Structures are given as C-alpha cells and as structure tokens.
Chain A
C-alpha cells in the first residue's frame, strides 16, 4: 500500500511538472478538441512506465504524445475511409500537418514541404525550446541524426523564405487635427 501511495505521489509530481508543457506540445500539433484525450493517454502511458523514467522525462513524454497523436489521427482516418478515398481524387491532397493560423503563408508553405521528421526537428527546437540533445530524445533518434534533420530543415525553410518578399506598409491613424 505504501508503495502505491509513493507511486501515486511520484505520478502527481510528474503531472504537475509537465502537464502544461505536454498540453502545449499537443495543441501546437493537433486540434484543440483532441488535446485532452491525447494528454490523458500520454500520462496514462507515463504512469505505467513510471519506474523506468529518468531524471529528465519531458523529452520522453513529448515522444509519447507524438505517437499518441499519430495513432489518433490514423484512427480518425480509418473512420473516415470513404472521405479519404474521395479526397484522394482531388489534385492536391491535404498534408498530414496543418500549419497554424498564426503562421505566415510563406513560412507555412515552406513547412508543409518538409518531411515530417525534418518538420518535427525544427518545431521541437523552435516551439518546445529543446536543445538538440533533448530534442533528439523526443524525436526518438540519435543526436547525430537529429542534427542532420535540423540542418536540412533549416536550409530548406531558409531558402524558401529568401525567395519571398514581404511588403509591409504600416500607417498611423487617428482623428485629424
């Protein structure tokens, strides 16, 4: 009984420490409506594996969240098989990853053209603020492989942004004097 209480306390610590980071990760990659279930499933897996978690569990948690999110998307696609078949008849199928509304068209276009691994590498660094070594753990690959993905992703996005021209013209307005 004492062990169960200890385990629960350890889990509650883990939850309190990382809930918001995991939730933000999921919100950045999936629909808000699905976030609660994905986060709950992620922490359920974490509870099962509680004894094996190291000192820095966040990268691992994010990796689990990514897989839970992917599984959920796959399940959704299976449910909508007819819709998927109809969609496949369209000339440009929707990408798996949808850019958020906060992203400019130029950047969104460049991000959509990346491979999923490259895109995730960039986002783990830019959005989750992880250093490459921790980000590699979240991505489930070696640090060397992660650096290569990150390098390719930055190069592709940088090249795409260099081709675009931003034409901002801001003005100041008010009541004429």
Chain B
C-alpha cells in the first residue's frame, strides 16, 4: 500500500530546510535591512529631487527606520502583515486540574502562563498571554494565515503531555496480555511487538492495529484505581460508524476523503471529559462532535476505561503525521502506568553523539533521576531474564507525547545491567535524523503543561 498523500506532505514538511517560524538571528536581520536600504537607495523609477527635499528625506529615513524595525521584529515565515492584536484572535481558556496537578493553584497557573508564552514564542512575536481570574487565561494572537491559526490552536489546546513508559510492561498484544508477561515463552506476537519487525518497535506494522480494533481491545480492560501513575483520570470516549454506513459517508465528506474507509470509521472522539462526567453527559459532548445529520444512535460509542491508553504509532523518524481518522493510522493499546513525565526532564537538547549521529540529551530533576534509574533498572533486568537460547531481547522505554508514540528506544542490558544512573543525564540516540532529533528536543522542552486547558470562547 502506498503511503497517503498526507504522509508524503508530512515527510516533505519535515525536511523543510528553512522551516516557518524560525526566529531570524542578527545576521538575517542585518541582511533584511541591507536589502531594504539597497532598494530604497536605488528605486526603480527615477526620483525627481526638489529643493527642500530634506524634509522628505527625513520622513523617508523615519519610515526606513520604522519599516526596518517592523521587519526585524517579525519572526519570519509568515506571509501576512504584522497586525495589532486587536486585529487577530482573542482566546479565553479555562485551566483544569490533571492527575499530575490535582489542584488549580496560583503556582500552577503561573507555570501554565509561562509555558504557554514559551510555546507561542516559537511561532514569533505579537502574542500576549495573561491570567484572568483564578482559573482563566486570555491569549491574544496576531492575525495570520489559516495554517498559522491551526498551529496556534494546536500549541494552545494540545496538552502535549510527555510521558515515558516501560514499553514491554505496558503494551498489550491482541489477547489482552502485556508483552512482558509473554516474553519468557518467546511468544511470537509478543516478540514482534517488543522488537519490531523490519523497523523498530512502536512502528506501524510492528504488532499495531486499526483504531477500532485497538479501542475494542482497550474497552475490555478492567478499570484501574486512581493513582499518581495514571496520565488520565476517567474514561475516554469514541464513536464509530459501521463499515459502509451513511454515518461513515458523512464523516468522510467532512474530512474531505474520497470515500468512506473499508472498515469502521471514527465519527467522534477521542473525548476525555474528566472523571466527574457521567456516561450520558459524555455521549452528549460526543454528539456535538458528530458530522451534521449523524446522531449517537447511528454509531457505536466505546469507552476506554481509566488505566488503559490507545496510542498512535507515529514515530518521529517516519515523519508521519497521519491523521487519527486516516485508514492508514495504526495504534497500540497500553496500560497507563507512567514511569516519568515531561516535568521530570530538564535541559533537553538536540545534538550529535560520539559517532556524529543525531541525538537528544537531557537531564532530570531529583525525583526524575530516581524514577529514571528505577525504571531503567527494571527494563534492563527484564532484558537479561528474557534473553534466552541465544536470542537477545533488549527491552525498551516508550516516549509518548499526548497519545502519540514518538520513539521507543532500547536499553542495552549488557551495557547497563543495573540500568542507567541518570546523574549526568541520558541521551536518546540512533534511529533519529537531525530534524527528528530537533523535534524530539522541542517536545521534551515544551511538552508538559501542568494543567489541562479548555477553550471557553
């Protein structure tokens, strides 16, 4: 099967040598100034000089300074004129508690505002982020293209929670058992999910399944009690349409697809309404996302219990930003037992390792260091235990941003028989090209907002 159009565009976008949103440095700004001066000093039409044109020269000089300042302050890439915030968008957000930040405190709000400012700064200038009341945040954004608005929405509303999981201890095979529980017998499916096939683990095809299959498997898991290791409290809801149904045709039309997919289609969701919301309230929220003319009774509503996750197989190296609704999208089901979160990571940086291959280095907070050492020790010990009969089965960490699986690095149990101490940080290396390393470092850096944000208007 050929990769989708979306995949091709995503691959190219990742290879963009001058990505939009790069902040111009002093050299680039000087170049902009030089070009403008060149043009103004030697305009294409002959300019008649009048006596007393000194005033004009003065006005022109002021204009040059103003325009150069405007150009310099712009942060590149945008194709729209700089706008006053009042000409752009004003977005009001409500902050809500998460399992990792169970109360909306003044400190959490302050961190949230600071992180939002940093995230939006990556798009350039012109944004304001301010706290309003005790739980609201108001963002004003300059006007821009539809693509730019999409990125703003994504940066604001995506919780972009970064989490590390012990891969084999959490990922499930279609029989609902964890991979780690089946490795001692070298179960073929479990080994395939653990080690990957042609590609590494966590890639589409390495034991992954369609969204409907994954959600169906996830719904069969028992709910887990609330605890600090969970990334989500409460259930996650999906609405699916039957193959060839009118509802799927309506959903395909909304997505601009040529036609409905062969199997079940996603009509609405995933919806994470929080733990205090009843099933009927959640279905009402889900109904609001349905395509026009489709009701919840036209589809099947599935609820993934607390303690289970459906993650999309979307590793960085593939460059695939495949939409969740695409028939090409592939998923894994995991227990939601977080080993480390983005808040445990410090100073992520893209660079190169000793062999000049792209890598990402990072450090840990005090508690993060202990958690990392504990997790890597468990992973390394299991690698040694299940590597039998001449078969090496190194075990893995899974790095997920939101519900996307971005990389699944292995821990070599022979090199690290008791795990990695983490005192001097750690690095993820191999299987990354330079853009993927940069993306991962960015996600590690901006990954964790302490509170969930909901757009109020």
Contacts and interface: CB of A to CB of B under 8 A. Distances in A.
Contact of B416 (A43, A101, A161, A176): A176
B408 A19 contact: no
Interface in A148-177: 154-155, 157-159, 161-162, 165-177
Interface residues of B, number: 94
A13 B80 CA distance: 11
A158 B80 CA distance: 32
A17 B82 contact: yes
A20 B78 contact: yes
A21 interface: yes
Q: Which of B44, B77, B147 is most buried by chain A, counting CB atoms within 10 A of its CB?
A: B44
Interface residues of A, number: 63
Contacts of B146: 131
A126 B408 CA distance: 27
A95 B115 CA distance: 45
Contact of B12 (A12, A122, A167): A122
Contacts of B408: 170
Interface in A71-109: 99-104, 107
A129 B15 contact: no
Nearest to A4: B47
Interface string A2-38: 0011001101110111111101100110000001100
B198 A107 contact: no
Interface stretch (B17-25, B269-277, B297-305): B17-25
B8 A176 contact: no
B456 interface: no
A170 B31 contact: no
A171 B355 CA distance: 14
B145 interface: yes
Interface in B185-206: 198-200, 203
Given A104-B433, A123-B12, A174-B427, A12 B63 contact: yes
Interface stretch (B32-40, B85-93, B223-231): B32-40
Given A154-B8, A171-B410, A172-B427, A100 B79 contact: no
B405 to A, nearest CB: 12
A132 to B, nearest CB: 12
A20 B77 contact: yes
B11 interface: yes
A177 B315 contact: no
A123 B18 CA distance: 12
A43 B39 contact: yes
A175 B74 contact: no
Interface of A: 1, 4-5, 8-9, 11-13, 15-21, 23-24, 27-28, 35-36, 39-40, 43-44, 47-48, 58, 99-104, 107, 111, 122-123, 125-127, 129, 131, 154-155, 157-159, 161-162, 165-177
25 contacts: A5-B56, A11-B39, A12-B40, A19-B71, A20-B74, A20-B75, A20-B76, A20-B77, A28-B17, A40-B35, A102-B16, A102-B433, A103-B15, A103-B17, A122-B9, A125-B9, A126-B9, A127-B16, A169-B430, A173-B415, A173-B420, A175-B423, A176-B418, A177-B416, A177-B422
